[in-house]
Every structure is written in C-alpha cells, then in structure tokens.
Amino acid sequence: MTLIKSVTAQKPPYEYTTDQIVRSAEQWLSDAPELIRRKGIKIFKSANIDKRGSVAPLEFIFSDATFEEKNDFYVKSSIELSEKVLAKALEDSGWEARDLDYIITTSCTGFMIPSVDAYLINKFDMKTDIVRLPVTEMGCAGGTSGLIYAHSFLKNNPGKKAALITVEAPSLTFRKDDLSVENLVSTAIFADGATCTLLEGGEEGPGLKILDFDMYHFQEATYLMGYNLTNTGFKIVLDKDVPDSIKSHFPNILPPFLKKNNLEVADVENYMFHPGGKKIINMVEDYICRFDKDISDSIDVLRQHGNMSSSTIIFILERFLKKEIKKGEKGYMLAFGPGFTAQSLLVEWS
C-alpha cells in the first residue's frame, strides 16, 4: 500500500480580494470596447471567488512586463515557494530531506529547465540517487497525476519515501494585449499556490491509504484546454464546451471506477473534486447531491483561494486531513486536465 503521511499547503506572499482585482481589471479594460469591458467585469464579479493568492503584486501582473520578465519571475517564485513548502512539510513530519527516495514536481504555468526539483535537491542536500519526475503538461490534473505516479512507485518499493510538490503561478500567464473571453475567464478564476505531500510505501499505521486510481481519456478532445505559446506568453485555451463535455462523460468516470472497487457512490463518505470554475463545480455538485453527498470543501477552496491549477486538489485534501474522520472511511478524489483527462483516486483513512 501507499500511505499519505502529511499534506502541507503554502499560500504565496500576496493575497487580493476580488474587489481589489476588479479595480485593476477596470483600469486594464478602460480603453477596451464597452461590450468587452462590461462582460469582463461581470466575469470577475460572478466567479464565486472572494480572494486569491499571487506570487507578484497586482501592479506587476497588470503591467507591460514582457514574457521573459514574467517567466523569470515564475522561475524565482517557483523555487522560493517550493523550498518553503518542502521545508515546512519536512519539519512537521519529522522527516529529513535525505530520507526521500523519489521527488515529483508539478507545474504548468511557466517554463524552466532544469525543473524546480533540481534546485530542491541541491538546496536540501538530498541523496544523489534520488529519482526525479517533473510533470509539466497535466495542468489542473497535475496534483492527482503526481499522487498516482508516487503510488505507482511506492507500492512496489516498501519503505521508500516520496515527496510530491505542486507549484503554480497562473497569475503570471496574464496577457495584457489579449481581450478574448478565454483570457478574461482565466484572469478571473486562476490563482497561485504550492503544496507538498509526503508519502511512504508499504507501511501500516496512521495516514491516508491510496487504494486505487484511474485515468480516463476523453477521445478527440485536445481542443478543450491547454496553452498555446505566443510571442507575448502563454495563451490560455479554455473552450466553452468544457463543462458540457465533462457532464456528458461523468457517468463513465465515477460509477465505473467505484464499481471496479466493489463500491457505489453511497459507500464513499468523502468527496474531493477539483472545482475548475463555477460552471464545472456547479455541474459536479448537481450530480453528486443526488446521492446526498457534500462537496462544500471543494467549493470553499475555490472561493477562498481560486483555481490554483495542480495545487487545488491538494489544498482540498489538506482540508480533509485536518478533519476528524473515522478510521475506515473512504474518499474519492477527481481532477480534470488537458488532453482531455479525468483522473481519479480512491483513498481510505487508517
């Protein structure tokens, strides 16, 4: 088995309310056509997000900074946030950095080679034979991807230890010259954050057991979500069909996965969904509430932190690990990402 021993979430240095962001957006859109300006502000105000974190001050985010300048900021802030969250996780768990056998890092909101894990290995003086896995193209599903990859490694390596670090700064992908609906929506819902999950293989004891996982691929759906690289930065791809596509596939994702584990929706006590945005989480809520299940934690994380891409599902998991949950209760985790993919995990409190 694989045990999740601890989960640590790290907010970035800046935090802004939606009202503060709206004021910056109004200034940004002041010279835009009236229809775009009104639509943009409406998107910001109706996103069901109260506040969110940022690696940079709003003045920099909405400035004329070049793609190179923003990416340099991404590299710097990714290293700093990752170091901070890993140090906190190790301290809280009592582990040493040299205990780690496997390090996974997920990020999709900037470009850096070498990846952030290389800097962490040097900073924390990890052992020279540590196995590295940077995950860069899974988008919002990166958190579940990382847990799946860690589980796949650890279940065959009893006693080994792994760290999964997610670090995202989508605020830096804002493109000032882009007045498309996709850029407006992206700016309105995405936010920055980092997490660290520590896992161990083959151990009995307190923690959260990973029981099973699944990756479900939507055929011919690469157009739904992603980034295009342009001269001015990352141009968000966020097709209007995303919520409806998820809705049409949902019956093929959750029930079959649970059935494979001899379970039904009613048998799982705790549900953790990557909220995406308002439309997606409302659709998921409509579906799961038919079974009298509660996903308020997912909704609250979106409201209090925004969509932090791969870090979001781990922020939600951290909330659950702070609760008093009975031994033997099960949990289901789900996140969506580019490709298009839906990635599921079944866990159990022990």
Nearest partner of 165 among 246, 241, 83, judged by Cα: 83
Do 2-201 and 208-349 agree at the fold level? yes
Question: What does the pLDDT look like over 45-63, one tens digit per residue?
Answer: 998 999 999 999 999 999 9
Which residues, 6+ apart, have CB-to-CB distance to 143 below 8 Å? Answer: 106, 164, 166, 195, 274, 310, 311, 312, 313, 314, 335
| pLDDT given for residue 203 in this prediction | 65
Check whether 83 has a pLDDT greater than 90: yes
What single-letter DSSP state applies at residue 94?
T
Q: What one-character-per-residue DSSP string does 104-162 give? A: EEE--SS--SS-HHHHHHHHTT--TT-EEEEE-S-GGGHHHHHHHHHHHHHTTSTT-EE
CATH code of 2-201, in short, is: 3.40.47.10
Percent of the chain clearing pLDDT 90 (strictly above): 86
Mean pLDDT of the chain: 94
CA distances from 308 to 16, 140, 170 (A): 14, 8, 7
Q: Are 311 and 166 in contact (CB under 8 A)?
A: yes
- As a whole number, mean pLDDT of residues 163-173 equals 97
C-alpha 220/C-alpha 222 separation (Å) is 6
Question: What does the pLDDT look like over 1-45, one tens digit per residue?
Answer: 899 999 999 999 999 999 999 999 999 999 999 999 999 999 999
| pLDDT given for residue 202 in this prediction | 83
Label the pairing between strands 14-17 and 51-54. Answer: antiparallel
Give the homologous superfamily in CATH for domain 208-349. Answer: Thiolase/Chalcone synthase (3.40.47.10)
Nearest partner of 311 among 150, 226, 146, 193, judged by Cα: 193
Q: Is-above-0.75 flag for pTM?
A: yes
Question: What does the pLDDT look like over 87-97, one tens digit per residue?
Answer: 999 999 999 99
C-alpha 44/C-alpha 119 separation (Å) is 36
Q: What one-character-per-residue DSSP string does 233-278 give? A: EEEEEE-TTHHHHHHHHGGGTHHHHHHHTT--GGG--EEEE---SH
Domain residues of the chain, as ranges?
2-201, 208-349
Q: Tell me how many degrees the CA angle 287-291-295 measures, rounded to the nearest 5.
A: 65
Question: What does the pLDDT look like over 183-218, one tens digit per residue?
Answer: 999 999 999 999 999 999 986 778 899 999 999 999
- As a whole number, mean pLDDT of residues 342-348 equals 97
